[in-house]
Structure 1
Amino acid sequence: MTFHFRRLCCFPAILAVVLQLLHGVAGQLVVIDEPTSAPPPPLVDLDGGVGGIVPAMFIFGDSLIDNGNNNNIPSFAKANYFPYGIDFNGGPTGRFCNGLTMVDGIAQLLGLPLIPAYSEATGDQVLRGVNYASAAAGILPDTGGNFVGRIPFDTQIHNFETTLDQVASKSGGAVNIADSVARSLFFIGMGSNDYLNNYLMPNFPTRNQFNAQQYGGHLVQQYTNQLTRLYNLGGRKFVVAGLGRMGCIPSILAQGPDGKCSEEVNQLVLPFNTNVKTMISNLNQNLPGAKFIYLDIAHMYEEITANAVSYGFTTLDKGCCGIGKNRGQITCLPFETPCPNRDQYLFWDAFHPTEKVNLIMAKKAFAGDRTVAFPINIHELASLN
């Protein structure tokens, strides 16, 4: 089946130009200070976290879990300005959220500190883990080129190698750290930008080269090689997040005539998720000692929206911070005033969930049943010998 995205592809190119101008201004004006008042407590109770079951967590991904790696590179994909971080203790950090990300919540549940960005990690901080994620990054090296600077997955893996060298030099060599690396958790969340900032962009050739099924296969072939690299570097416990209902994000909703989810986009990403599940099964069979688990982000989204009232959500189709239709035509701008009732919003901006959603998903991933994490959940994976 061939998909046609002429209508869906026009706006991101305009958005990139606007962001180029605004991020240039923001880079000159924004100073990150401590907030004048303490932020509210986490919106989801994370009590019940268990300490000491993994030595560290290493994180690879895109803007959904980036915590500042793009801050100091020439990139238009940045979130180191207010109101990003409005509910984070310390203000804007580079997280594309009002507060904590999903991996922040998982770190807390594991009894780990918040994992530092690779660009900022120093000294013994790296011993508890490093976050290599980068906004606009993808599985494919060309993905996100419309935002200029970003750190693709291949480069994130290279940065992990650099961390290993640093730790080994302090700890008596690679052999001495092998056991700790094998017991550590590797969280990988890639693929969103390979659609939003590659396949769906009019200046990329990929949708003329591949149909939906072929593209999903192409991505997962590259993904398999990259995850195998991490295995060869010593990783054994892997959490791989699938793609969510991307046709329901405010940016895509704003491009439709009726404000409804784009089933065209939702169907487009299905082959990727299907192939990732098959990949995980194959890697578990073929890589001795490895355990890969899959997080069904799309199912989590569907469960949350189906039970929105019980979770306290009232707004499912608009960004809390943004401009235009569905507050998704222009994403959150420097010094824009966001919605005051952030815990009632599913989305923070045109692309990313609020802290509340992130922490709900973290808890589901950590202790959920087989509908959201399989073949086991993160707690069970972390507890394996």
Structure 2
Amino acid sequence: MASLLPNPASFPTLICPFLCAATFLFCAVAGDGRVPAIYVFGDSTADVGNNNFLPGNTAKANFPHNGVDFPAKRPTGRFSNGYNGIDFLGMHLGFRRSPPPFLSIASKIHRRIARGIGGVNFASGGSGILDSTGSTISLANQIRNFETVRSNMTAHLSETQANQFLSKSLFIISTGGNDIFAYFSRNNAPNVTEKEQFIATLSSNYQYHIKKLYNVGARKFGIIDVPPIGCCPFTRSSNPTGGCVDVLNELPSQFNRAAMFLMHDLTLTLKGMKYSIGSSYKVVSNIIRDPSALGFKETKTACCGGGKFNGQFSCVPNATLCSDRNHYLFWDLLHPTHAASKLAGLAIYGGSTQFASPINFKQLAEEEY
């Protein structure tokens, strides 16, 4: 696959450190840090087809124009024209792409584990940290599904072997945006106290889920933070000025900071826990700030959709579709393009602490338990 990164010589000084590192890593990541398996949890930013198997669920992407740039040009349930960020992280970690959706292989889980095949994706579009968010498979239910996998492992591995396998595996979580959207729909002008209370509730629930995963064997956590959702085409389309919606950028920023403190504090009490927080917020903000330097031309309008900024209607077979998809930040009203996901995966896997901290995903994968 050809690189989507432009010539480094053309980059402005402001973002050279990021892009020079990214250009190097694009050539260097192959063959680097490996983990035996990846377990993925989260929402539509990580879903690779679980929602395809949920009757009546509307948060689906298993139809055109989704997947137009995926191998064989087929829709898979990814909210993208091609791969999503989890796919690219999987590639950097030595896998073909994201592990398969849990609901597509639920009856084969124990055989996959016994053969050493690399993990499962539990993510479900529309889900959130809070059980009250969305009508899909909540994060709590995703973890229960993982517990099923964990119990099936011991049919082929001893308890000690299962624990060793999981301690070396990477647990990726990409969630929180839907919780913030749901809160904003109820209160679009929260005061300082209300925002603090919401962030505290969200963080407390997140902590509970992280501990739950730790208690069933997870040790390496790769957290993807919440991007500036106030700048996506959907929210811009509802703003009379067409600009970003400030509170929908402030809330993710506050939650992301809370998650940083949360993860640090957990490592002080949970023996052997290690983590990296990949900042989709920083990656997207950099693209919006200087799109041309990163190879993008359009950061406001979605490639596929309808209405203002193509952000008022979803990407469906009869929707408007752009032709120069590599130059768009947004694929549909909420989700990034294959090109944007590629850049994010690169920065989070092997970039500087601006994009993944306290270590990047490559360093996390190489950490010994």
TM-score (norm 1): 0.83
Contact 2:172 2:223 in 1 (8 A): yes
Asked whether the 8 Å contact 1:217–1:271 carries over to 2, the reply is no
Which one is further off, 284-293 or 266-275? 266-275
1:189 is displaced (CA, Å) by 0.9
Q: Deviations over 1:171-212 (max 9, x none)?
A: 3x332221110000010011000012x21234x99x79x711
8 Å Cα contact 1:319-1:345 kept in structure 2:
yes
Deviation of 1:269 after TM superposition, in Å, equals: 2.7
Q: Superposed, which structure 2 residues align to 1:152-171 within 5 Å?
A: 152-171=138-157
Partner of 2:43: 62
Q: 1:193 aligns with which of 178, 189, 199?
A: 178
State the partner residue of 1:71: 52
How far does the alpha carbon of each residue in 1:72-105 deviate from its partner, in whole angstroms, 9 at most, with x for none? 1120100000110111114101000000010100
Q: Partner residue of 2:166?
A: 181
Unaligned runs of 5+ in 1: 1-39
1:128 maps onto 2:122 in alignment: no
Q: Distance in 1 between matches of 2:159 and 2:102?
A: 20
How far off its partner does 1:361 sit? 0.5
Indicate the residue corresponding to 2:14 in structure 1. Answer: none
- CA change 1:270–1:378 in 2 (3 A) is same
The letter of the residue matching 1:141 is D
Distance in 2 (alpha carbons) for counterparts of 1:43 and 1:315: 15
The match for 2:298 is 315
Q: Which moved more, 1:343-352 or 1:159-168?
A: 159-168
SS at match of 2:53: coil
Question: Does structure 2 conserve the Cα–Cα contact (< 8 Å) formed by 1:116 and 1:125?
Answer: no
1:259 aligns with 2:242: yes
1:364 pairs with 2:344: no
CA RMSD between the two structures: 2.1
Alignment match, 2:227: 244
Q: Are 2:326 and 1:343 equivalent residues in the alignment?
A: yes
Picking from 275, 279, 283, the partner of 2:262 is 279
Counterparts in 2 of 1:280 and 1:347: CA distance versus 1, 3 Å: same
- 2:316 is aligned to 333
The 3-state SS of whatever aligns with 1:318 is coil
Distance 1:141 1:42, change over 3 A: farther
Counterpart CA distance in 2 for 1:307 and 1:49 is 28
Structure 1 residue 87 corresponds to structure 2 residue 59: no
1:214 is aligned to 197
- 2-structure distance, mates of 1:41, 1:376: 27
Q: Separation in 2 of the partners of 1:160 and 1:181? A: 11
What residue number does 1:7 align with? Answer: none
- SS of the counterpart of 1:95? coil
Q: Using the TM superposition, give the Cα deviation of residue 42 of structure 1 relative to its aligned residue in structure 2, in angstroms.
A: 6.9
SS at match of 1:359: helix
| Structure 1 residues 89 and 335: alpha-carbon distance in aligned structure 2, compared to 1, 3 A threshold | farther
Partner residue, 1:14: none
> How far did residue 306 of structure 1 move?
2.6
CA deviations over 1:262-295 (Å, ceiling 9, x no partner):
1122123332112111101101111111012212
Pair 1:270–1:312, CA change in 2 (3 A): closer
Instruction: Give, in whole Å, the separation in 2 of the partners of 1:187 and 1:174.
Output: 23
Please state how far the C-alpha of 1:334 moved relative to its aligned partner: 2.8
| Cα displacement string for residues 338-368 of structure 1 (whole angstroms, at most 9, x for unaligned residues) | 1110001000000000000001000000111
CA distance in 2, matches of 1:265, 1:311: 24
In the other structure, the counterpart of 2:209 is 226
* Structure 1 residue 70, shift from structure 2 partner: 0.6
1:137 to 110, 127, 134: 127
Q: Is the 8 A contact 2:33 2:366 kept in 1?
A: no
1:132 and 1:159 in contact (8 A); partners too: yes
**Paired residue secondary structure (2:149):** helix
Paired residue type of 2:322:
C
Matched residues in 2 for 1:284 and 1:52: separation? 22
Q: 2:103 aligns with which of 74, 94, 119?
A: 119
Indicate conservation of the 8 Å contact 1:43/1:355, yes or no: no
Tell me how far apart the structure 2 counterparts of residues 109 and 297 of structure 1 sit (CA, whole Å): 17
- Which stretches in structure 2 are left out of the alignment for 5+ residues? 6-22
TM-aligned CA distance change 1:266 to 1:52, over 3 Å:
closer
Deviation (angstroms), 1:221: 0.2
Q: CA deviation at 1:217?
A: 0.7
Matched residue of 1:211: which SS?
Answer: helix
Answer whether contact 2:33 2:363 (CA < 8 A) is retained.
Answer: no
Please say if residues 305 and 320 of structure 2, whose CA atoms lie closer than 8 Å, have aligned partners that are also in contact: no
Does 1:53 pair with 2:34? yes
CA contact under 8 A between 1:43 and 1:343: conserved in structure 2? yes
CA distance in 1: counterparts of 2:96 and 2:248, whole angstroms = 36
Aligned with 2:261: secondary structure? helix
